[in-house]
Structure 1
Amino acid sequence: MTAEQAPDLSPREARDRYLDHRKVEAADASVKSWKYRLKHFVEWAEEQQIESMGDLTGWYLDEYETFRRGHDVSPSTLNGEMQTLKNWLEYLARIDVVPESLPEKVHVPSIPDGEESNDEMLDPEDARVLLQTLRSDPDHYGTVKHALLELLWFTGARIGAIRGLDLRDYHSDERFVVFHHRPESDTPLKNDSNGERAVGLPEVVCEVLDYYIKHHREGSHDDAGRKPLFTTTQGRASENTLRVWTYLATQPCLHSPCPHGKERETCEHLHIHEASKCPSSLSPHRVRTGSITWQRDCNLPAEIVSERVNATLEVIESYYDQATERERLEKRRRPYIDYLDLDPEGEA
């Protein structure tokens, strides 16, 4: 092989080289997402006995897309996977591992209108009832599940950001929390240092957090010697543990009869290993979606919500804000209609 020739790389080798290249400029969460998406292609290529990326053709790419469609993936998932595949091949074409024309042979399917995201979210009215129930019930007030739901709802933060909070990041007297990017001790933010921000909290939320810290928080440290806000007896709560707590905190049987005909006292979905199987429980992401929509309905300017939840305006409008056009008119735009006056007060 001369200096001008690129080596034959297997699909797995090419995938690893690409991810190593992107690690320099991308967040860890993004790299993990690309690795997961490309995993499907690598495994498929190995089953097809494709030993060199140089052997790929447009036919193979079309066969792979057909293969993925046969697994009933959603339109948005297939769109993301094929776009990542195309980006990967563009990198490989740039370093002469695959032909320059190959990336253009990847078909990235469009997403039908209305299917860009899952509309399921914690409805603001349901959130109000859940939080009022937790606040008024002595058995639930200030528990870890209650404190977590309050913080998720009033910050709209991602679960990874919530997991990374330390006690020192919560400022009770001034009523705010600060999200810090600390990758060296396993609590990065999705957007790295660009995700760092302070988010204000209502007084009633701080009262819940104060009670949780005083009466229910496990007094443990994580492996880095830090004091996490949300803990287990082993240290900092994992993202999976936080998800389970969220599932349990959003079950409607906390305040109403079970919509699925079960009795709360005997329902298996109250167990931590079964909580996610409750048809009405919601993940942290659905709480985030509902929170962002609610914050916009509270007439917080889009720019303020963007800063609070660390998401661009475009992402908020496309993926998180689930208000209907009529709701946007009635709750957000109609109050400004009075400004549209051809004869402002005071003019002749």
Structure 2
Amino acid sequence: MSGTARHSYRVRIAGTADGGSRIPDLTPREALERWLGKLRVDRAESTVSSYAYRLKLFVDWTEHEGIDSISDLTGWDIESYETHRRNQGIEPLTLKRELETLANFLEYCANIELVDDALPEKVTPPKVPRDAHVDESMLEPEVAEALLQHYRTHPEKRATRGHAVLEVAWHTGARLGALRGLDVDDYDAEEQYVAFHHRPRKETPLKNSTDGERLVGLPEAVCEILDEYLARERHEAFDDHNRRPLFASQLGRPTTNTLRIWMYLATVPCHYTECPHGRERETCEFVDYSKISQCPSSRSPHQVRTGSITWQRNRGVPVDVVSKRVNSSPSVIEEHYDKPSKFEEMEKRRRQHLDQLDLDADTDNGGADE
């Protein structure tokens, strides 16, 4: 060995898609799956699913157009896809949301060098009138009050599961996932509040993760309903994580769809009045469990939330207080949820100025203010 020259060799190994120096050649579908997987770490599954649905249409379009690598995407492709969706006659607001999600996805791709840095900026969501952002369908405050009064005074319906769900949903303005995630131990009867916790590892995340955790106070009358419900009506059931759901089915924690149906069932107006659509409850097909959502007057959890926020604002609760209770920013509440009627608008925002317009008012102030 002493007379033999010694050489050292370096073997260069190509990078990989999971951390090497070589940029992977991913299809749009592969890139999308990677992005969604990243989002699942700290986003609610419902949010990830909505993103996946919006971008599935884009991925399907790229495959139809023969775009095999996401790095091949150009601004012309983005414009062509937008034109394709416009030609399908979709609502401007739907198109706006789809393109905003596409821009977020491409920003992720640009950040990890899958596409050109400038590509996300070439996505131009349309400007949509403010009114288009508002879903006018909600549980009207007067209907909610009539429903709750009916439940509270009816000997057989008081403190039933549907009644308890509606009471908590209406008085907290909570989202569907937050209601579903409540445990019996999250309700404090003595201090009169419910606690919303982010528990993604136990399959009950909050939409805004830990930022959505909060304590929400309940009126005494609502606590009385919950106490009766727990003592008499709640199924003594556990979920897969040995937790006791506050709103339980015989099998444990309900699915989101099951809880949604419970809300539809709880909000049909024929509980307390004649059918506004001229039907007889005994023969109406919509009161069937599988068709209750088709009743024109039943309301989903989101529509109950919208009505609750509107009701809280109309009763004079400051927007910053409502914001903390329902876990939504003041600006979002004012834009999407705070929907007073024309009369309520006048009462809340204009009535205080009417004295200045009264001809009989004392005007001895040196003339009108400039």
Mapped partners of 1:175, 1:158: distance in 2:
20
Mapped partners of 1:5, 1:342: distance in 2:
79
Contact 1:297–1:332 under 8 Å retained in 2: no
> What residue identity is the alignment partner of 2:253?
R
Deviation string, structure 1 residues 257-303 (Cα, Å, up to 9, x no partner): 21222110111111111010111111110110010011011111111
Name the structure 2 match of 1:299: 316
Name the structure 1 match of 2:298: 281
After superposing the two structures, state which structure 1 stretch, 90-99 or 133-142, moved more: 90-99
Aligned pair partner of 2:170 in 153, 158, 165: 153
Name the structure 2 match of 1:236: 253
Aligned pair partner of 2:197 in 170, 174, 180: 180
Q: CA deviation at 1:62?
A: 2.4
Q: CA deviation at 1:72?
A: 4.2
Mapped partners of 2:147, 2:321: distance in 1:
25
Q: Residue 132 of structure 2 aligns to a residue in which SS?
A: coil
Identity of aligned residues (%): 51
After superposing the two structures, state which structure 1 stretch, 58-67 or 195-204, moved more: 58-67
Aligned pair partner of 2:334 in 317, 329, 346: 317
Q: CA deviation at 1:55?
A: 2.5
Q: CA deviation at 1:36?
A: 2.3
Name the structure 2 match of 1:201: 218
Greater Cα radius of gyration, structure 1 or 2: 2
Deviation string, structure 1 residues 163-196 (Cα, Å, up to 9, x no partner): 1111111112221111111111111111111111
> What residue identity is the alignment partner of 2:322?
V
Contact 2:42–2:209 under 8 Å retained in 1: no
CA 219–102 in structure 1, closer or farther in 2 if over 3 Å, else same: same
Mapped partners of 2:253, 2:231: distance in 1:
17
Please list, as runs of the form range in 1=range in 2, the aligned pairs for 1:134-173 lying within 5 A after superposition: 134-173=151-190
Mapped partners of 1:201, 1:342: distance in 2:
47
Mapped partners of 1:138, 1:35: distance in 2:
46
Name the structure 1 match of 2:28: 11
Aligned pair partner of 1:116 in 112, 133, 136: 133
> What residue identity is the alignment partner of 2:61?
W
After superposing the two structures, state which structure 1 stretch, 90-99 or 200-209, moved more: 90-99
Mapped partners of 1:155, 1:334: distance in 2:
29
CA 322–212 in structure 1, closer or farther in 2 if over 3 Å, else same: same
Please list, as runs of the form range in 1=range in 2, the aligned pairs for 1:216-255 lying within 5 A after superposition: 216-255=233-272
The reply to whether residue 103 of structure 1 matches residue 142 of structure 2 is no
List alignment gaps of at least 5 residues for structure 2.
Answer: 1-13, 356-361, 365-370
Deviation string, structure 1 residues 122-144 (Cα, Å, up to 9, x no partner): 11111111111111222311111
Q: CA deviation at 1:5?
A: 4.7
The reply to whether residue 257 of structure 1 matches residue 274 of structure 2 is yes
CA 342–305 in structure 1, closer or farther in 2 if over 3 Å, else same: farther
> What residue identity is the alignment partner of 1:202?
P
Mapped partners of 1:210, 1:335: distance in 2:
42
Contact 2:43–2:207 under 8 Å retained in 1: no
The reply to whether residue 54 of structure 1 matches residue 71 of structure 2 is yes
CA 196–342 in structure 1, closer or farther in 2 if over 3 Å, else same: farther
Mapped partners of 1:238, 1:25: distance in 2:
20
> What residue identity is the alignment partner of 1:170?
Y
CA 336–229 in structure 1, closer or farther in 2 if over 3 Å, else same: farther
The reply to whether residue 44 of structure 1 matches residue 81 of structure 2 is no
Mapped partners of 1:78, 1:6: distance in 2:
31
Aligned residues: CA RMSD: 2.3
CA 222–335 in structure 1, closer or farther in 2 if over 3 Å, else same: farther
CA 70–256 in structure 1, closer or farther in 2 if over 3 Å, else same: farther
Q: Residue 157 of structure 2 aligns to a residue in which SS?
A: coil
> What residue identity is the alignment partner of 1:294?
W
Name the structure 2 match of 1:84: 101
After superposing the two structures, state which structure 1 stretch, 25-34 or 107-116, moved more: 25-34
Q: Residue 168 of structure 1 aligns to a residue in which SS?
A: helix
> What residue identity is the alignment partner of 2:129?
P
Mapped partners of 1:248, 1:342: distance in 2:
57
